[in-house]
Amino acid sequence: MDHVSILLVDDEQAILHMLKTVLLKEQFVDIDTVTTGEEAITACENKTYHCIVLDIMLPGKSGLEICPFLRQVTDAPILFLTAKTTDYDKLTGFAVGGDDYVVKPFNPLEVVARIKSLLKRYLPTKMATTTTATPPSSDVTSSSPAVQEGVYDFGRFQVFEQAGELQVEGQPVNCPALVYQLLLFFCKHPNRIFTKSELYERVWGSEAISDDNTVMVHIHRIRERIEADPSNPAFLVNVRGLGYKLILPNQVSRA
């Protein structure tokens, strides 16, 4: 389980300690803990997690309130910890983006079992999205920057699809799942302009409710990672009135 990253979010240190101890005994080694919703959002913006255990009753914003914000930066399954047992509360948790729940007080082994169950469904899907190379669409006028199957080399940065990794100037860069998926989509379709609604449909899914601000936030997060000057992007550019496109490396100097 050394390849699995788990985030525990609870304001009770005793619960965090108990869950982390049990998870370590179950061979999970990459475990982070935070005590507020705001810290959870920051953690997910800076690291890719494979599962999040989220307490509902947090100081400041509740787990239910921050879950939609987490969903903007991660597609990792979210397991709610809740002292509320009504069907309405449970359905609310699912409605805002949760995947499962455990009612307090709980047996920590049950939490571990539910985490394993969520990972069993999530990881194969995750691996499928990062190991199946998809050729760039035929309507791209210029050749793909991929130097080999599943590797997209833009000079300053490279995206390794099979490894699910972004490298900038030779160094690996943490990239949240949806930020990575949006960047990968651009890499597969260089020089093609996409509107915000097209990007939302292609990356988030046609059943999702379109949100222009979500796309813009993720565009900004990509630029923060791949651009030398995010405020003056050379690769991921805005074509005024039309949308966004990722420029091929041999055309950056002319952009």
Tens of pLDDT, residue by residue over 104-130, are 888 999 999 989 988 887 775 555 444
| Nearby residues of 234 by Cβ (< 8 Å), 6 or more positions away | 227, 228, 247, 252, 255
How far is Cα of residue 113 from the mean position of the Cα atoms in its chain? 23
pLDDT value at residue 123 = 72
pLDDT value at residue 210 = 52
Mean pLDDT throughout 170-189?
Answer: 87
Here the tokens at position 225 are 């990672």
Mean pLDDT of the chain: 82
pLDDT above 90 (res 254) = no
Mean pLDDT throughout 54-83?
Answer: 89
Mean pLDDT throughout 181-187?
Answer: 92
Claim: this prediction has a pTM higher than 0.85: no
Q: What is the pLDDT of residues 228-253, one digit of tens each?
A: 999 999 999 999 889 999 998 876 65
pLDDT above 80 (res 43) = yes
Burial of 51 (0-12, 13-18, 19+ CB in 10 A): buried
Here the tokens at position 49 are 């997690």
pLDDT value at residue 145 = 58
pLDDT above 90 (res 18) = yes
Bond from prior residue into 108 cis (ω within 30 degrees of 0): no
Mean pLDDT throughout 77-91?
Answer: 77
CB 189 within 8 A of CB 137: yes
